[in-house]
Amino acid sequence: MDRTEIVFFDVETSVPFRSGQKHALLEFGAIVVCPRRLEELRSYSTLVRPADLSCVSPTSVRCNGITRDALSTAPSFHQVAELVYDMLNGRVWAGHNILRFDCLRIREAFAEIGRPAPEPKGIIDSLELLTR
């Protein structure tokens, strides 16, 4: 598959509050852009209901504003994984701090449901560009 588009994406997660606890994916948003015209080709965003809503602590809510109530009717990651995969796989991934955070959370989310994670064609991380 030869995809030349750039996908800007971001995730929001829970803030772990117990030793050994992982981040739970709570929101995914992406916009696919034509690299030549910088026009939006497609976009998608969704809240993601974690398996255990108790992972959404008051600290998480203060950090990202996403509450347990908002997540209670959201789809699970398993339900949106195909769309997330299609948005990301084979495209150039772009975002802020995605190398150290967002890419890892995407891989973890796919591993948790036993599916291969999408792979980028390349990565543009604005944090890396700003800290040179």
Q: How does DSSP assign 64-87, residue by residue?
A: H---HHHHTTSPBHHHHHHHHHHH
pLDDT beyond 60 at 1: no
Q: Mean pLDDT, the chain, as a whole number?
A: 94
User: What value does the mean pLDDT take over residues 73-87?
Assistant: 98
pLDDT beyond 70 at 2: no
- Residue 20's pLDDT band (cuts 50, 70, 90): confident
pLDDT beyond 90 at 21: no
Q: What is the pTM of this model?
A: 0.92
pLDDT beyond 80 at 59: yes
CATH topology assigned to domain 6-130: Nucleotidyltransferase; domain 5 (3.30.420)
User: What value does the mean pLDDT take over residues 69-88?
Assistant: 98
User: What is the CA angle 105-103-124, rounded to 5?
Assistant: 155
User: What value does the mean pLDDT take over residues 88-114?
Assistant: 97
User: What value does the mean pLDDT take over residues 94-102?
Assistant: 96
CA atoms within 13 A on the CB side of 67: 2
Whether 52 contacts 21, CB under 8 Å: no
User: What is the CA angle 12-100-63, rounded to 5?
Assistant: 30
Query: For position 82, what pLDDT does the model report?
Result: 98
Query: For position 128, what pLDDT does the model report?
Result: 83
Q: Which position has the higher pLDDT, 64 or 4?
A: 64
